[in-house]
Amino acid sequence: MTLRSVSRSLSPSNLSVPLSVAAAAAVRFAAPFEPAGATMLSITAFCIVLWVGNLFSPAYTGVLCIGLIGLAFSLDLALSGFRSPATWLIAFGLVMGEATRRSGLAGWAGRWVIHRVSGDAPSTDAARTYRRLLVSLSAAGLLLVLVIPVGIVRVLVLAPVVLEVGRRFDSRRVRLGLFFGPILITYLGTAGVLTGGSPNIVVLGIFESITGASIAWTEWFVLMFPVMGVGRLLVIVGVVYALYRPTSELQLEPDRAETHAIGGSERRMLAILLAGVGVWVTDVFHGLHPVYGAMLVVVLAFLPVVGVADFEETLGDVDFSILFFVAAVLAIGQGLTQTNVATALAERLLAVVPADASLFVVLAIVFAFTVLLMFVISGLAAASVVTPVVSAFAADAGLPVLPITLTEVTALMMPVFPYQSAVLVVILAYEIVDARELIRVVAAVTLATIVLLVPIQLAILSIAA
């Protein structure tokens, strides 16, 4: 099964194009905005329906979106997304992921974890080994969030490792558990780290363009990682283990890997990644944008003698098409702000919030607003629509922008259906899981997170403000 066949199987029908045209026309003539604002919202509706319908690739729709914005407004606005550091952070992240794969570091890490957990001989207690592997591999998936800033890349790096580990067990339930645990935390742990994935970077880019300020990597980490990183790791492991408990007859084959020693290429790549992390975690001192850390990793990874791969060969294997999607999303956000649509929507949101509401209640409403919006558009598209709205809302209401923005980020990592995230579509490309089973697990994790972790996270943001 290919990723393209999965994508097509998720398409509602070929009615996406007429539906998108109808939605755009309805918004253009019915939206209560000035002509420029109605046009911008019309283009947004047109692209959202195409993204949801999934008839075309998100990147192709992104190119179409950029062209429409250019024709309706200006080329400067249409191409504004390509000037954003957020777009280039994602580009460097894609290259980082491919360099990590080529260096052999991903393969070595998987073998090392297996060896440390279960040794070279089959365990006398296979169920106990399964539990240890589930926790260890999931923790490794969360650590990848710190060093690889693109969720899709982390899934592509980690999936072959966890699938190979799962083959040592004779139970499909256990193989699914070992797949879901690490893969879901390396994706859903995105909210805990600023450089964790595309939604964060899109939100950061729009936040910077609207407020003129930025968010420090360390500040984001302190406010978000304890709950949305470590806390979510515990929730995911708990939910996955509850859904995929092993039977008493579980059998485990021995680890036949020839060596667990780290080689020179793997060692250099690990040191290079740690250098990039060093730039990110010290931004409170130097103030450099996170893109500089990713840039440093790319420069060192391909530097003669020091590097681990050939630059031109590696770039030939990297799919940069997602950048058109990201650039279109950022252009939508900028357009909604410039045409005052975001401000008008913020006023409507402000009318829903009680005048004497506490910051915690406001954050809860923003969270619910974002989660509900994600049922009709994908996470990245939701980020482009919601960020200008909540930023304008915070400014009009005299509320701190940072906690409201981080609440939105928290909500963006509460998916249920595959169309809400390209990462979930990538997960479906692996034949071990079908759409129904993926929805079941992701929905259970999202529900448990909302009940157990979101109140704690909103309380932390309220107190920090």
CA atoms of 400 and 382, how far apart (whole Å):
21
Q: For helices 172-188 and 435-452, what crossing angle results, to 10°?
A: 50
What pLDDT sits at residue 279?
84
CA atoms of 302 and 396, how far apart (whole Å):
48
What pLDDT sits at residue 9?
45
Tokens in use for 62? 């992104």
Residue among 168, 130, 129, 131 at smallest CA distance from 253: 168
Residue among 363, 382, 362, 381 at smallest CA distance from 372: 382
Which residue in the block uniquely carries the two structure tokens 């999965």?
A: 6
CA-to-CA separations, 184 to 5, 39, 106, 275, 329, in angstroms, rounded? 22, 38, 17, 26, 24
CA atoms of 461 and 408, how far apart (whole Å):
12
One-letter identity of residue 357: A
What pLDDT sits at residue 237?
97
What pLDDT sits at residue 350?
66
Tokens in use for 301? 């990874």
Q: Which residues contact 351 (CB under 8 A, 6 or more apart)?
A: none
CA atoms of 178 and 231, how far apart (whole Å):
19
What pLDDT sits at residue 223?
96
Q: Which residues does the chain have with pLDDT short of 70?
A: 1-15, 52, 54, 106-107, 109-111, 113-114, 117-124, 252-260, 284, 343, 346-347, 350, 355, 376-379, 381, 419, 425, 429, 431
pTM summary value: 0.71
Virtual CA dihedral for 420, 422, 425, 429, nearest 10 degrees?
-170
Q: Which residues contact 158 (CB under 8 A, 6 or more apart)?
A: 106, 140, 141, 144, 182, 183, 186
One-letter identity of residue 42: S
